[in-house]
Structure 1
Amino acid sequence: MTGMRGTVGEAVDVVVVGAGVAGLACSADLLAAGLTVRLLEAGDAVGGRMRTDRIAGFTLDRGFQVFNTAYPQVKRRLDLRALRLRPFTAGVLVRTADGTRRFTDPTRRRRGNGGPLLPVEGVSARDLAALGALSARDMLAPASWLRGRGADTTTATALAAAGLSYDLVESFLRPFLSGVFLEDDLETSARFFHLVWRSMLRGTLCLPADGIGAVPAQLAARLPDGVLRTGARVASLTPDGVALAEGGGLPARAVVVATGQSAAGELLPGLDVPRGRTVTTLYHAAPRSPLTEPTLLVDARRRFLNTCVLTEVHPGFSGDGRALVSTSVLGTPGPAEVADVEAALGEAYGADVTTWEAVHSVTVRDALPAMPPPLVLSRTTRVGPGRYVCGDHRATGSLQGALASGARAAREILADLGRGTG
């Protein structure tokens, strides 16, 4: 490529736009192959949607998130011990019109690891057998088989085909999976459902002791000095590289757009991006814990997606000894809707929510890409000569999908620049 007027740095092999986990993974793999890389992040820190804030003495993630230890990219890239992971209970509580039902495996320790998630409370023998068969197949089958078998359908169709009753789907699976997919119609690809279910059965759902932001922070800490620049907003892509909003530009042989889907669509006009799912998380401080276990609570009436007492997962999330309650809902609720959610929480927990303090709320747009069938689980990152795009919207809406997409972008760049490893 030719030179650029007003450059703010020497030409590099690759500019990566966006320091979320996809951009961090892509940058790391390119650097390991010997390329020169500049990673530009518009925000004041890395992480994208995986950020953690300290507000009023509380450790608050930007939206409720969980960390799954079973993801292959997680095992490959992260030092799990250094994250000081704190597990959730291997089970779910569901608030129904008749009370609260617990779904868990009785052979699995309350804070332990291993073993499948199977419902055992108030479930028919037929449903138990059907879900047991589905779970055994998903847990034991190779991931490649789950990705490629048969025609893709919706999750709702797949659950019915597995022989699960309407009662079990409505009382447990729909309210639980609504919080996983950020949609309550179970219209998400069955292929993705089976892969997610497999990862839950094989891994542990937990949170880093310093919040979910510790994950991208660990990846960023391994980058050499001078690679990452925060507060650097890219205004546009140019024939020579990128132009910065502050003026000037940075020349590069290749540019990777590793932002969320909306920003990617702005930088790459005409890019095919999926619809995004929006979620709002409400944080409350309570004088005492309304649930003395680190267990996810979901609502069969779907007045909220899920709620949990984060200080039961890790007491360090609170700086003053009060309990920290996280609750997520679809969309962007107004004041009246928030009041309805708080009333529902009072019923679900059996607690006096008038004593709770609203600490913070955060709305995350494009929190997940919509993933209806037929879902292509991994798409090429190439979008033009010297132009690439990666992120969970190019793969699956998960940490695994984002990291894998970043890795794929690096492989395709190395191949195109003549540095491929075969």
Structure 2
Amino acid sequence: MLEPAYQADVVVVGAGIAGLSAAHRLTSAGVSTAVLEAAPCVGGRMSTEKVDGFRLDRIGQLLFTSYPELRLTPGFEGLVLRAFAPGVLLHSDGRRHRAGAPASGRSARGALHVVRALASAPRSPVAAAPRTAAPLGGPVDQARLSTALARIAATPVERLLARPDLPAAAALAERGVPARTVEGFLRPLLAALLCDPDLTTSSRCADLALHAFARGRLCLPEGGAESVPELLARSLPPGTVHTGVRVTSVATNAVTTAEHGVVRCRAVLLATDARAAAELLPGLRVPDFHPVTVVHHTTDEPPQTGASLLLDADRGGPVAHTAVLSRIDPSRAPAGRALISSTVLGRPPEGVDTAVRMHLSRLYGTSTRRWETLAVHHTPEAVPAMRPPHDLRRPVRLLAGLYVCGDHRDTSTVQGALHSARRAAAAVLADLGAAASLHRADPAPSLPTAA
């Protein structure tokens, strides 16, 4: 059977959010696109396991309502975000304190307001501990931090990226932030946002995380992390995404697959994770990674912390942050049950579930002995490390016809993955020329039949 000169204008390798969002931009410009994914489903690391009516994310990605790419990416019109309560809860010296919430709905974004422990917290030995100062220090320290967050919220991103690049911990020390404020608020917050408990991350990336925190609300996609890539995949032209297709080699005008032989094209965009991309293109650098472990529990008597993200300012156990996710997104648990998801950063301890239960008992001020463990998800290469000097705009155009995108080319966040996809799609379109002048393949590319 005669075959066309090419089956698609562009082949995208990888159906994570970077590859799918790039495919949206390409198809919207009239460029026929085939997305090839080795796994049986789309999403990559943004996956959700379903257990007895629960929706359990394998990596607890935290999003922000202030992420620009969530508004700018085609295909996200139907995305539903469930917001946490404003700010975060800090556990310190046996009590919980709210921090980072605006003083009022109309206050400047980024203003800091600290209140005492939640009045609704259960009366228990932990909750009844002697009164202590908030973990941010005294009123002067709190006022300084309020001013600093308001300032970073108003600072243009370009100015943040022009700052000297240091390890985040060193940058905080150099800026004269009181040690109590760093240890009591900024360190646990940044550790949660960057998945980096030692704050070795680039200070520019840390500033971007604080910028997003000060300007928006922490949130989760309704229905689990997988709902984001699934939404993108459903809104692409039918036949664009092909799962269960393993790419074994790439060139500027073709990819070779294990199942369907050679697929000819005008350009190839690698949108896999960093390690898989380097296996196809050995010259690409593989970064270090931050491991993440997420432990999911359920109970019929949930802790009284509302829809809040709870951080441990004392670092008294393995849990970096935890939340009753069913309070934020009820679709993640069946009726009458609560879903508590807790994140451990770095190498997990032996007997991680037991260690997490003991820590959660102190954080929530309640017994966890009757909680049921639903799943323990350990991902050794969860988040690419962003140590300084970190290039937030690593090249996406390797050469004419060959491109790469993903969170390892930008910041190691959903925002970074989407932004890198936008840069890569723009480079592809610029090299291919105006969409109206291209010789088109079929709008929904078909793969050759496997031999």
User: What is the TM-score with the length of structure 1 in the denominator?
Assistant: 0.91
Aligned equivalent of 2:351: 336
Alignment map for 1:122-161 (pairs within 5 Å)? 122=134, 123-148=137-162, 150-161=163-174
Q: 1:200 to 1:104 in 2, by over 3 A?
A: closer
Q: Distance in 2 between matches of 1:126 and 1:344?
A: 31
Return the alpha-carbon distance in structure 2 between the equivalents of residues 165 and 185 of structure 1. 18
Give the secondary-structure state (helix, strand or coil) at the position aligned to 1:353: coil
Q: Residue 366 of structure 2 aligns to a residue in which SS?
A: coil
2:338 maps to which residue?
A: 323
Range that drifts further, 223-232 or 335-344: 335-344
Deviation at 1:366, TM superposition (A): 2.7
Residues 163-178 of structure 1: matches in 2 within 5 Å?
163-178=176-191
Contact 2:320 2:343 in 1 (8 A): yes
- Which deviates the most, 207-216 or 385-394? 207-216
Given that 1:90 and 1:113 are in contact with CA atoms closer than 8 Å, whether structure 2 keeps it comes out as no
Contact 1:67 1:212 (8 Å CA) reproduced: no
Is 2:405 aligned against 1:390? yes
Partner of 2:31: 35
Provide the rounded CA distance (Å) in 2 between the counterparts of 1:399 and 1:266: 23
How far off its partner does 1:347 sit?
1.3
Q: Which amino acid aligns with 2:293?
A: T
Task: Give how far 1:307 is off.
Answer: 0.5
**Bigger Cα Rg:** 2
CA contact (8 A) 1:369 1:397 kept: yes
Q: Which blocks of at least 5 consecutive residues in structure 2 are unaligned?
A: 116-133, 437-451
In structure 2, relative to structure 1, the CA distance for the partners of 1:169 and 1:412 (3 Å cut) is same
Report what 2:227 is aligned to. 214
User: Residue type of the partner of 1:116?
Assistant: G
- Percent identity among equivalent residues? 40
Q: Secondary structure at the match of 2:319?
A: coil
From 415, 426, 442, the equivalent of 1:400 is 415
Code of the aligned partner of 1:86: R
Matches within 5 A, 1:140-289: 140-148=154-162, 150-238=163-251, 240-289=253-302
- 2:109 is aligned to 115
Alpha-carbon distance in structure 2 between the residues aligned to 1:217 and 1:7? 31
Deviations 1:324-376 (A, max 9, x none): 10001124535523311211111111121110000012122332211111221
Distance 2:237 2:139 in 1: 56
Report the Cα offset of residue 193 of structure 1.
Answer: 1.4
- CA shift at 1:79, angstroms? 7.2
8 Å contact from structure 1 (residues 51, 61) kept in 2: yes
2:282 is paired with a residue of what secondary structure?
coil
Find the aligned partners of 1:197 and 1:408 in 2 and give their Cα distance. 23
Between the aligned partners of 2:140 and 2:107, the Cα distance in structure 1 is 26
Structure 1 stretches (4+) deviating beyond 4 angstroms? 5-10, 78-81
Q: CA RMSD in A?
A: 2.5
Paired residue for 1:365, among 380, 386, 400? 380
CA distance in 2, matches of 1:386, 1:334: 46
Partner AA of 1:64 in structure 2? G
Q: TM-score, normalised by structure 2?
A: 0.85
- 1:115 is aligned with what amino acid? R
**CA contact 2:247–2:255 (8 Å) conserved in 1:** yes
* Kept after mapping to 1: 8 A contact 2:251/2:402: no
1:35 Cα offset (Å): 1.7
**Aligned partner letter, 2:421:** G
Task: Give the aligned length.
Answer: 414
Q: Would the aligned equivalents of 2:253 and 2:268 in 1 still touch at CA under 8 Å?
A: no
Residue from 63, 69, 85 that aligns with 2:65:
69
Whether the aligned pair in 2 keeps the contact of 1:6 and 1:248 (CA below 8 Å) is: no
